[in-house]
Amino acid sequence: MYLASIISALEAILKSRTSQGAVAWTISLLTFPFIALPAYLIFGRNRFDGYLEKRDEIERESLRLIQRTSDNIQDHLAPVSAGSPMHTSLLNLARMPATRGNALQLLVDGQATFDDIKYGLASAQHYILFQFYIIRDDALGRSLGRVLADKARDGLKVYLLYDEIGSRQFQKSGLLKQLRMAGVKAAPFNTTQGPRNRFQLNFRNHRKVVVVDGRKAWIGGHNVGDEYLGLNKRIGHWRDTHTRVEGPAVLGAELAFATDWLWASQSHLEVDWNFSREAPGQSTVLVFPSDPASEYEEAGLMFHQCIVAAERRIWIASPYFVPDRGIMAALQLAALRGVDVRIMIPDEPDGPLVAMANWSFTRELLACGGKVYRYQGGFMHQKVLLMDDELAGVGTANFDNRSFRLNFEITLLVNDPGFAGEVQAMLEQDLERSRQVGLSEFDSKPVWFPLAMAIARLFSPVL
């Protein structure tokens, strides 16, 4: 046990992304090995061993398929200038180009989202890619499941991917058995796959991606469950946002799904990759996937780039406000240079630790002139950003360390003043249902409140 703890401590020193994490794990492993070693095996690593090699393999295969089936892909690539919101850094991090000619539909809340997805699934003629972090065997899950099963029986290729931790009840459900009997190819993401990941429960595949025939894709914050329709009486109204995209950007969603499927099933997708040669709209879109296998903290760097590039405003809506030190500093500097910095979070966060951490970072931002709003129209779960008047993002990445470092996420970054205007109008309606937090609120908090905030910050890397 002591030898294993020493080896783990050396690994923590070499591989931890922050010095604070390296120090904390090293001291714990050397001082309390019988407690710290099991914890390290489960929560200690933030690099997903083995996944990167598989991702490179499927991306090479995908590019060959794209080149073989779509000889005019170059016509859709968006030119990038130094003054473009699609900065070169974001393109390099995404490992795929931005594309022009896309059409987008903003889908507000669950009913609009799942009605649109269900209609899209019913129109499928060739294949369906269906991925969610949480899938439940409830009324909504069974409703969508019937469409997937019917399409599979009709001979379409239907692939279903879920996170085995987020969907742990779904793994044993009758719905999953019925889908497989109908011919749906379903697989858990398998975060514990491989000898190095056997005990690792810290990673999540948090992506929500639906693709139909390579022509339409849906990406956003909803999972498949009745509560996302606002049907859970305890939670009440569920405020969330999804986006449908049509056009060449759908290819990015397909690639993200394909990389996950290869890792999960150790097999390639058996579909004839379609590519929309049409340009149904005018929006420039960058599909931005991020994962813990990368050399960089891609989701965190995406937020950081948008914050430092903002000239007029940066608005971020997320159920979590638990950034790291670098991103917090970027927000403070943006507010100090006169950028309209607004963070919107739910008034009743998901758990006491998250609540205390939110308050801690709120106090830091308010002191610099930033603004924090607490949504009171239900539980707000959307992951949306708005930079200036032209760049908007809708996806799965929360504004917290888990999404920055540990989760598989995906975000649609849209460079289009028209779509940004729609997002602005949507967020302004949300702000009307929110209350702005002031520094004076901290004066009325109980005497134990500062200590609770400080303790919560200690857990911020895994919240």
Residues of 304-317 as b/e, b for ≥16 C-beta within 10 angstroms? bbbbbbbeeebbbb
DSSP 56-81: HHHHHHHHHHHHHH-TTGGGGBPP--
Among the options 208, 216, 242, 371, which is catalytic? 208
Q: Which of 217, 208, 135, 116 is nearest to 396 (CA)?
A: 208
- Annotation marks residue 206 as catalytic: yes
Indicate the helix (H) or strand (E) that contains 152. helix 139-153
Question: Does the annotation mark 383 as catalytic?
Answer: yes
Q: Is 388 a catalytic residue?
A: yes
From the list 138, 213, 240, 416, the catalytic residue is 213
| H or E segment to which residue 263 belongs | helix 250-265
| Residues 385/397, Cβ–Cβ less than 8 Å | no
The two most distant CA atoms of the chain are separated, in Å, by 67
The tokens describing 330, both together, are 């970027």
**Rg value, the chain, Cα:** 22
The identity of residue 341, as a single letter, is V
Catalytic residue among 138, 388, 416, 430: 388
| CA-CA-CA-CA torsion sign (273, 277, 278, 284) | positive
Catalytic residue of the set 260, 383, 400, 430: 383
Q: Which of 242, 260, 381, 416 is an active site residue?
A: 381
Of 112, 107, 164, which Cα lies nearest the Cα of 134? Answer: 164
Closest CA to 43 of 165, 135, 133, 168: 165
The yes-or-no answer on residue 233 being catalytic is: no
Catalytic residue among 87, 151, 206, 371: 206
Q: Which residues are annotated as catalytic? A: 206, 208, 213, 381, 383, 388
